[in-house]
Amino acid sequence: MTSPYRAVLGAAFDELHPRLRAYFDAIPAGAIGRGSGVFDTVGTPRRWLWPVLAIFARAHVMFPVWERAVPFTVENQPLTTADGSPAVAAVRVFELRNRREAMIDEIGVSDGALLDRLGRPVRTEARFAATVRDGGLRLRSTAVWLVLGGRRVRVPRPLAPVVVLTERWDDTAEVQSVSITVAAPVIGRVYQYRGRFHYRIAEEGEQSP
């Protein structure tokens, strides 16, 4: 079984830093990927956006906060979709000041591109173009859909937010870095998180250290 990232990137997958290849490659059967670290920032300082983010928070997508130095964990689990293509289900747990929140998504392959289905239940889908730059991975959204009442509605391109994810490996600090920004037309950046973490493959059922 391959991973959705290797399936989409093809030969470019081997241009990733070796530590990132280990992160984005297929997780062996009976295993799970686990990571922990700290986000430098989470959310947005624009409080007038928080009522909108609160709607997405109920589905475990984004949260109405602006916090720094937020501890977090991530668990990645391999899946195979109904059409037989590879996917990865991820749960990221944010230890906010007054509560714990989980971001839930599943990333797979659709029409030769990465498709991220966010939320439980799914409330948003985003298609990404993937590129490798200087050993790091960059994903940029090319289309966004809202899932409303079981219907999938594409957000018109002039109105669609742009999501950019960058993952890199820091050889000096020996740590993986991640950055996600969500920017809306006219408004600009409406959400972000950025930080560093360590990651390993563990046997499913093995307790975290």
Domain boundaries along the sequence of the chain: 4-200
Q: Which two tokens stand for residue 175?
A: 């740590």
Mean pLDDT of 162-178: 97
Q: Which two tokens stand for residue 14?
A: 């081997």
Pick the closest to residue 30 from 196, 189, 195, 203 (CA basis): 203
3-state DSSP assignment of residue 12: helix
pLDDT at 203 over 90: no
pLDDT at 207 over 80: no
**Cα separation values, 189 from 49, 108, 180, Å:** 11, 26, 11
- Does domain 4-200 fall under CATH 1.10.1060? My reply is no
Mean pLDDT of 192-196: 98
Q: Which two tokens stand for residue 38?
A: 């700290």
pLDDT at 109 over 80: yes
> Which residues touch 8 (CB under 8 Å, ≥6 apart)?
109, 112, 113, 114, 130
Q: What is the pLDDT of residue 204?
A: 73
Q: What is the pLDDT of residue 195?
A: 98
Reported as a single tens digit per residue, the pLDDT across 70-107 is 999 999 999 988 888 999 999 999 999 999 999 999 99
pLDDT at 49 over 70: yes
**Cα separation values, 201 from 28, 107, 175, 205, 206, Å:** 9, 18, 15, 12, 10
Pick the closest to residue 41 from 199, 196, 187, 198 (CA basis): 196
Reported as a single tens digit per residue, the pLDDT across 114-130 is 999 999 999 999 999 99
3-state DSSP assignment of residue 9: helix
